[in-house]
Structure 1
Amino acid sequence: MSISRRQTLFTLATASAASVLPQNSSASVTKSPAFVPCLNMSTIRGQKLGFVKELEIASKAGFRSVEIWIDSLQEYIKNGGTPAQALKILGDLGIKVENAIGFAPWIIDDDAARAKGVDQLKTEMELLAQIGCMRVATPSVGAQGPQAPRIDLLKAAERYRTILEISDQTKVIPQLELWGFSKNLNKLSEVMYVAIESGHPSARVLLDVYHLYKGGSSLDTLKLVGKPGVEIFHINDYPASLPKETITDADRVYPGDGIAPIAQILKTIKNPDRPIVLSLEVFNKTYYAQDALKVAKTGLEKINKAIAGV
């Protein structure tokens, strides 16, 4: 049987291509994880370890990502440390700072006080950028108490855009945080409205298992949050014995130790395009009385168990 010149060239080209491709392409492709375990330093904050020791504990426990508190970093610098030294410590420990917890009052109605809060946030964002932290939590600080006035959501959106525009220079993105106990921005619908109405492409929301429950947000509408809208998510749990009306921050427990529908939540927020950072945020006094390394290791085990199979 004769073989044409065209068939010969096709056969050679196919064989050549096959020789440089993996023999088992499905086995050779490493699938990106859907979730990245992260330690919010709130979880071991009660042990009063300080910035460096907290990082060391997180690394030793097996975390590669952390969520720091800005005041802890500021105290480290006040005592003689520098952002460059902090960055080196992070590199030596193999740790990435995914987000920072701060309390600048950027949303309040008082114009003068809000201007100071925005300046404070800008300074904090510039500091965070120096240690490679490109996100900062921005909840409704100063407008959360029961006596606080209700803030018009359109004004809140304008104020959120103001701090998002600062991120155009600093590259540190404010994550609009849901606080279920707050007078303002206590529901998923409110934070989503403010984020969308800001009209800024970097708008992101920071949600939390406990705060969704505390604020009474329906998990059936969580799926309406666009996948790019969530980059970091606070994971925790709550006990069956405490209704949302009386539960507090300190009542949060490890994921899996309560009744929260964590698997449902994780399946809803799962993003096929990029991993979601799952940051363990609890303020449990029982955990604060324990060895910090034990708490961190237990937390990582609980997160890994929660994400298994999701």
Structure 2
Amino acid sequence: MAFRLALNTVTIKPATLDEKVAATAEAGYEGIGLWNHEVSEFVARGGTLEALAKRLKTLGLVAPEMCSAGGGWQYADEATRRKALEDVKPRFEMCAALSVGCIIAAAAEGVGELSQAADDFAALCRVAAQFGVRVAFEIIGPRKQLNNMAVGWEVVRRAAQPNGGIMVDTFHFYRGGSTLEQLQPIPTDKIYVVHINDATGKPREQLTDADRVHVGRGVIPVKDILAALKAKGFDGFLSLELFNRDYWAESPRKVAADGKAALTAMVHG
């Protein structure tokens, strides 16, 4: 049983989508994590979803994830929620056309009753189900409430939707103070994807997305998290997601290759 490796395209953000796809394939990843806005821009420039899907298939790439389902669907007033659930439909259509494994739904910033958070997630999942799309709930480390795996799983569990699951982001796991024990109750088939990354040694509460670095170059216990996931039988995608401006200034091919080498060393080392 082995993990599969993917590159989330934000890791090489300044490149065009064509360049991102090429760099991902050349570096030897099996998957590519897409962002809806870059796919929309690709289409606006004359590309088609069919052509993109064909190119990914030709290069042997799959898309395990797409970011994101946007905001406004959770802990919002009724009018805002209703608009968000309508506005997200083109993103679900995009996911269906590209056979994307799941769309990422980031936790809201607010604080409220978990029953409401779960109801809101369930509503999002029900709309996604109309398109045959799975939704992965993402806890966000700096959030006041929805910031750790225990709370995140409780939201997904209460929502009880067949196409609703959770994802693990090692940065948010660490930033929000999640523990390995919090992974135990989560059924393996409900972990849709893992965003893998490391972070610099700043005080935990000061870390931002820009502090993410290649795995093995920071302080996050990535190996321990992977060991816990492996022990659960998870063998899905680890998608490298970095928002590092220094990396953005480098060659996309170099960053993709460096990331693949670091991931391979971490997974097999």
TM-score after normalising by structure 1: 0.82
Amino acid at match of 1:39: L
> Aligned residue for 1:69?
35
1:127 aligns with 2:112: no
1:34 aligns with 2:2: yes
CA contact (8 A) 1:34 1:271 kept: no
TM-superposed CA distance for 1:272, in Å, is 6.6
Partner of 2:192: 231
CA RMSD of aligned residues (A): 1.6
| Matching of residues 11-160 of structure 1 within 5 Å | 33-45=1-13, 48-105=14-71, 106-140=73-107, 143-144=108-109, 149-160=110-121
Residue 247 of structure 2: which of 287, 291, 297 is its match?
A: 287
The residue matched to 2:258 in structure 1 has which SS? helix
1:239: how far off? 2.2
> Retained in 1: the 8 A contact 2:199–2:218?
yes
**2:210: which partner in 1?**
250
Among candidates 221, 226, 242, match of residue 266 of structure 1: 226
Q: Are residues 1:166 and 2:127 paired? A: yes
Contact 1:65–1:96 under 8 Å retained in 2: yes
Q: Distance in 1 between matches of 2:205 and 2:233?
A: 37
Q: Which deviates more, 149-158 or 246-255?
A: 149-158
1:70 to partner: Cα distance = 0.6
Which residue among 166, 171, 174 is the counterpart of 1:205?
166
Structure 1: 5+ residue runs without aligned partners?
1-32
For structure 2, list consecutive stretches of 5 or more residues without a partner in the other structure: none
Q: Which amino acid aligns with 1:38?
A: A
Deviation at 1:42, TM superposition (A): 1.3
State the one-letter code of the partner of 2:7: L
Once the two structures are superposed, residues 46-88 of structure 1 have per-residue CA deviations (whole angstroms, 9 ceiling, x without a partner) of xx22222211111111112010111000011111111111111
**2:241 & 2:130 partners in 1: Cα distance?**
29
Q: Which amino acid aligns with 1:138?
A: A
Q: What is the rounded CA distance, in whole Å, between the counterparts of 1:104 and 1:189 in structure 2?
A: 22
Change in CA separation of 1:297 and 1:163 when aligned onto 2, cut-off 3 Å: same
Decide whether aligned partners of structure 1 residues 272 and 265 sit closer, same or farther in structure 2, where only a CA change above 3 A counts: closer
Partners of 1:192 and 1:136 lie apart in 2 by: 17
CA–CA separation in structure 2 for the residues paired with 1:271 and 1:231: 16
The letter of the residue matching 2:240 is L
Match of 1:23 in 2: none
Letter in 2 for 1:93: L
Deviations along 1:219-243, one digit per CA (max 9) or x if unpaired, are 3332232222212111111222x11
Greater Rg, structure 1 or structure 2?
1
In the TM superposition, what is the alpha-carbon distance from 1:262 to its structure 2 partner? Answer: 1.6
- Name the SS of the counterpart of 2:242 in structure 1: coil
Paired with 1:184 and 1:121, the residues of 2 have a C-alpha distance of 24
